[in-house]
Amino acid sequence: MDNFTFYSPTYFVFGKDQENHVGQYVRRFGGSKVLIHYGGGSVVKSGLLDRVKKSLELEGLSYIELGGVKPNPKSGLVYEGIELCRNNQVDFILAVGGGSTIDSSKAIAAGVVYDGDFWDFYQGKPITEALPVGTVLTIAAAGSEGSPDSVITKEEGMFKRGATGEAIRPAFSILNPQLTETLSSYQTACGITDIMAHVFERYFTNTVEVEVTDRLCEAILLTVKKEAPLVIQDPGNYEARANIMWAGMVAHNNICGVGREQDWASHTIEHELSATYDCAHGAGLAVVFPAWMEYVMKHDVSRFAQLAVRVWECQMDFVDPENTAREGLTRYRDFLKSIGMPSKFKDIGAKEEDIESMAQTACYGDGRDGTIGSFVPLVKEDVISIYRMML
């Protein structure tokens, strides 16, 4: 096990109706003039935005609003938000939405107190200062509600990049599973795929003897595997929604990833897809991850066999463990199919002719050094091969 630090100071408030107390938490964590940041339609139509405003008003907090966050959030709205906050002396950013809204909020929070271009943070500058961020989560997926990470796409060049820093970890996050009951089964399945992917990025490691985090990873995967069909079949299943929602946080606050090398090549490969075709991140991951697994499997057949036995409940083939490893991959593919996820380029509108340029950007774009991932370090030719497996 590698040396590590673990720090997850977000105050999580979980359960029915908890968004009605959001004002108290904003006040507790230092907000007085709030930017409410959100996407669009559903937050407004469902009445959630009104309930949030009412709670802020009850606490005597003032607020301004900025809607319009889209999936794969863009830098343009971030610049707009930064200016809005500066002009209105905003001291707290409240994200009401999913991972895209939270990530956009984090970017604004860091940008407001920074003299330079906020994009610097997405080119590797550590974020050391930001306005406090709170969240009211409406989709179980990205784990941004409990993470120090943010992913933004820069329109100029369509670079999709991540930034990180303890300063943008939410001060509080309100997770009410009821708010996810109105999501389409497609959105729900994209979220489920994303949660599992966050675990896989940590699970596939070259660090040895990390049983405790292996088992925690498997705990989250087993939970999601069990609950996913229940929620796809019955979107109003609160208990299944609740288990998935909390699993989504645990999958990404890094309790499953401490003390071990992590990979993250698949996220990089996917980011090119969602940046290029604006597909849902989860849908892109459903296409990328099985291909990546197939490509790297021989690097550590035992690890894939362990996953197959412990999570996908395969029988171990003691004579040829690769059979077990492959059976596990088949079951993962079947699982993704069963929840309605795509598996091929054509399903997400991706095109063969873009492979070369996407691989180029994934490996070299915006200052990268040509190699991605760590379980198996991949160069451009590898990435091309992996993309081709998705055709």
Residue 34, phi then psi, degrees to nearest 5: -110, 140
How far apart (Å, rounded) are the C-alpha atoms in residues 243 and 224? 8
3-state SS, residue 273: helix
Complex with a second copy: residue 160 or 241, whichever CB lies closer: 241
CB of 278 to a second copy, least distance (A): 32
**Binds a second copy by CB under 8 A, chosen from 165, 212, 275, 337:** 212
- Per CB under 8 A, the segment of 26-34, 215-223, 281-289, 371-379 that binds a second copy is 215-223
Give the C-alpha separation, 329 to 345, whole Å. Answer: 19
**Do the beta carbons of residue 362 and residue 286 sit within 8 Å?**
no
Min CB(244)–a second copy separation in Å:
8
Is 308 an interacting residue with respect to a second copy (CB under 8 A)?
no
Q: Does 234 bind a second copy (CB under 8 A)?
A: no
45: CB partners within 8 A, 6+ apart: none
CB 81 within 8 A of CB 37: yes
Asked whether position 216 contacts a second copy by CB under 8 A, the answer is yes
Tell which one of 149, 218, 270, 382 touches a second copy (CB under 8 A): 218
Interaction between residue 223 and a second copy (CB under 8 A) = yes
Does the footprint of a second copy cover residue 361 (CB under 8 A)?
no
Phi–psi pair at 354, nearest 5 degrees? -90, -5
- Minimum CB separation of residue 135 from a second copy in Å reads 14
Which region among 7-15, 69-77, 280-288, 360-368 touches a second copy (by CB under 8 A)?
7-15
Q: Which residue reads 């597909």 in tokens?
A: 279
The sign of the torsion formed by the CA atoms of 318, 319, 324, 327 equals negative
Q: Which of 197, 180, 306 is nearest to 243 (CA)?
A: 180
Q: Which of residues 245-264 bind a second copy (CB under 8 A)?
A: 246-247, 250, 255, 258-259
Amino acid letter for position 380: K
Q: How far is the CB of 40 from a second copy (least distance, A)?
A: 28
* CB closer to a second copy out of 8 and 330: 8
Segment interacting with a second copy, rule: CB under 8 A, options 42-50, 236-244, 355-363, 367-375: 236-244
CB atoms within 10 A of CB 35: 26
If one asks whether residue 22 binds a second copy (CB under 8 A), the answer comes out as no
Q: How far apart are CA 146 and CA 240, in angstroms?
A: 20
Closer Cβ to a second copy, 211 or 353, answer by number: 211
C-beta closer to a second copy: residue 222 or 389: 222
Residue 4 or 364: the one with the smaller Cβ distance to a second copy is 4
Distance CA 26, CA 218 (A): 35
Q: What value does the CA radius of gyration of the chain take, rounded to a whole number of Å?
A: 20
Asked if 24 is part of the footprint of a second copy (rule: CB under 8 A), the reply reads no
Q: Tell me, what amino acid is at 373? A: G
**Which positions lie near a second copy, rule CB under 8 A?**
1-16, 18, 208-213, 215-216, 218-220, 222-223, 226-227, 239-240, 242-243, 246-247, 250, 255, 258-259
